[in-house]
Amino acid sequence: MNYLVLSTTGLATAQRLQRELGGVIHAYSKRVQDSDTRPFDNVGAALGDLFNSGKPLVALCAAGIIIRHLAPHLTGKNTDAPVIALAEDGTAIVPLLGGHHGGNVLARNIGDILNLAPAITTASDTIFDVALDEPPQGCRLANPGDVKSFVAAMRDGAVVAVAGEADWLTSSNIPQVDTGADTGADTGTLRITITDEPMAGDEQHLIYHRQNLALGVGCERRAGGGEVIALISHTLEEANLSPLSLAGLYSLNLKEDEAALHEAAAHFDIPARFFDLATLQAQEDYLPNPSDIVKAEVGVAGVAEAAALAVGGQLVVEKQKSKRSTCAISRSDAIIDAEAHGQARGHLSIVGIGPGRADWRTGAAEAAIRHADIIVGYSLYLELIADLVNDKDCRAYNLGEEETRVAAAIELAASGKNVALVSSGDAGVFAMGALAHELLDRDDAPVHWDRISLELSPGISAMQAAAMRVGAPLGHDFCAISLSDLLTPREVILKRVVAAASADFVIAFYNPVSKRRRDLLGIARDLLLRHRPEDTPVVLARNLGRADENVTAMPLSQLQVDDVDMLTLVMIGSSETRARKRGDGTWSVYTPRGYAAKGTELGTELSKEEQA
């Protein structure tokens, strides 16, 4: 979710909501200065970009501003993202768009926080006290496009005959008739049917499907997703069951990393959940088609039937087979809460949060943190993302506990949780990304660790942040070297320094000093002075992106170890790097690409190469 604010009053209201609902605050930079927000300087462009992101938008400004700027971006009732107009002081709430796919619910949630009733204007909510195109959890509407005409007919006085179990409809203000009455087309009576059978509705007949079917699936290792989907589709068709009534896809936890199962779950828009072996073994006495072959292979006499039965209910479709997969279906009397059975495939996001500023975090990094159940990281890093994790389960670790920290994150993910392991800068640059992959690759790694899904979310690295603060020192070839000798022998570090110095790379030194290690930076400086001029620019960047940030430049010959601490990145220019102070006192440090020296012809060729 995103908030757009134009004033400090709006910022205070947005921050109040953010503490309860989460989300990212985008602030008009000409009026609002806050390091925990994302700045913008063009209101129309910001509104358009945030709306087109597809995420709910709460704009704390006049409704007219929103309407004028978003009008060119609107595509349709069923596709437009929810947009809420909220008075800056929190005294009025109006859901403008997407009311029936999240907007009205969000407006009510905001109203609960602000102790204010939202001005909901959608007809079905205000007149009939129900949103027909937004049924409750566990119930799916077959054709949302039919609702508009259906509601219009109700407003004109038509009554509705409801067939099937639907408390949420019978408790509404919909004008209903006895289902035993004549409800033919000639009577003008509208119909609503709740069923798990496939049915074709229309503008006078809405079809809802209760999600009361559990789909059990088994397959061979690396079976094709297409084959699994085809088997499930054929099975549903033969059994006269609607795919919209499926609550979840269930299998054995040995299959958590089976791509075909996740592809099938995504195809039918249901969660994939997994049971441990003992849970499925408890169903063996009830399997109509046990298999000794399957028992010998995975430890239970049937995965598909056992998984379907483990959810509860009666088996309505026994095991069906394709070449490399099986499926079975059980039916429960009540709607199935898919997440109450088995566990999800665990997910580990290794997230780079950048140097520390909120507006320097990537959207992917923020999304990974917001979606996570548990956040794991060094205590300082968790403090830097406090605006994102105030309502999260956070596990803080000290410096020196890197391997313990990463192993804990992996184990939590392997238990079915969505975990974010945070690093400063970029998670793949001198950070936790490599260690996570190393632990997963070790011979003694637990087997269940390798079933998790894993991704790295990019962050702005310290060397990128330092470079952008002073100009473009990374404009030509560069490298990064860590001077920490905790894991890398000193002789290896110094060998790399000499190689980089002789090759005339711009060098970013990470971990330049520590409390006990104060000499390697001085040795590296002296080695570099053998290969490049004394006036080679050096950039010292401390606490990048934080309140006490300090960035300065000096000649290589003047670099002193006492000017550097553990929070400083040291960047050494190449022999071509230039540095000067501009008229406003800021630094301009850059490494030229060589266009001027090489002439227009080569410059043109380089431009062609970059475009390619």
Domain ranges of the chain: 2-121, 139-210, 213-340, 347-460, 463-590
**Would you tell me how many other CB atoms lie within 10 Å of the CB of residue 422?**
31
| Fold category of 347-460 in CATH | Cobalt-precorrin-4 Transmethylase; domain 1 (3.40.1010)
Helix (H, G, I), strand (E, B) or coil at 511: coil
How, if at all, do strands 205-210 and 139-141 pair?
A: antiparallel
Q: Which of 14-28, 212-226, 256-270, 339-353 has the lowest mean pLDDT?
A: 14-28
Least confident of 336-350, 487-501, 537-551: 537-551
Confidence (pTM): 0.79
Q: Is 10 in contact with 88 (CB distance < 8 Å)? A: yes
What is the predicted pLDDT for the residue at 182?
Answer: 46
- Select from 3.40.1280.10, 3.40.50.11220, 1.10.10.10, 3.40.30.10 the CATH code of 2-121: 3.40.50.11220
pLDDT-based confidence at residue 110 (cuts at 50, 70, 90): very high
Could you give the CA distance from residue 275 to residue 270 in angstroms, rounded to a whole number? 16
Give me the pLDDT at residue 610, please. Answer: 58
pLDDT recorded at residue 146: 87
Q: What is the mean pLDDT of residues 361-379?
A: 91
Distance from CA of residue 98 to its chain's centroid?
21
Structure token digits, residue 176: 């209903």
Q: Return the CA Rg of the chain.
A: 30
| Spatial distance between the Cα atoms of 14 and 88, rounded to a whole number of angstroms | 8
Do 315 and 420 contact (CB within 8 A), yes or no?
Answer: no
Q: What is the residue type of 243? A: P
Bridge partners of 210, per DSSP, are 139
Least confident of 23-27, 164-168, 302-306: 164-168
Cα separation of 327 and 308, whole Å? 9
Torsion region of 365: left, alpha or beta (phi above 0 gives left; psi -120 to 50 gives alpha): alpha
What CATH number should be reported for the domain whose range is 463-590?
3.30.950.10
Contacts (Cβ under 8 Å, ≥6 apart) of 267: 225, 229
State yes or no: pLDDT of 601 exceeds 60: no
What is the DSSP track for 480-494?
EEE---SSS-HHHHH
Q: Contact, 524 vs 490, CB < 8 A?
A: no
pLDDT at 607: 59
- Of 489, 485, 478, 494, the residue nearest 593 (C-alpha): 478
SS3 of 180-205: the string is CCCCCHHHCCEEEEECCCCCCCECCE
Res 126 pLDDT > 70 = no
Integer Cα distance of 504 and 499 in angstroms: 9
pLDDT recorded at residue 477: 95
pLDDT, the chain, mean: 90
User: CA 333, CA 66: separation in Å to the nearest integer?
Assistant: 46
Q: Is 552 helix (H, G, I), strand (E, B) or coil?
A: strand
Helices (H), 191-302: 225-239, 259-267, 277-281, 292-298
**What letters, b where the CB count within 10 A reaches 16 and e where it falls short, cover 324-344?**
bbbbbbbbbeebbebeebbbb
Q: Look up the CATH number of domain 213-340.
A: 3.30.420.180
Q: Tens digit of pLDDT for each residue in 475-533? A: 999 999 999 998 899 999 999 999 999 999 999 999 999 989 999 999 999 999 999 99
Name the 3-class secondary structure at 94: strand
Which phi and psi angles does 366 have, rounded to 5°? -65, -40
Residues in the chain, overall count = 612
Residue identified by tokens 């990048």 is: 544
The 10s digit of each residue's pLDDT in 372-420 is 999 999 998 998 888 788 778 999 999 889 999 999 999 999 999 999 9
Q: What is the dihedral of CA 368, 369, 371, 373, to 10 degrees?
A: 130
**DSSP three-state, residue 313:** coil
Give the span between the Cα atoms of 469 and 385, in whole angstroms. 22
| DSSP string covering 454-473 | EEEE----HHHHHHHHHEET
Question: Where is average pLDDT lowest: 43-47, 118-122, 262-266, 534-538?
Answer: 118-122
Task: Give me the mean pLDDT over the 267-293 stretch.
Answer: 97
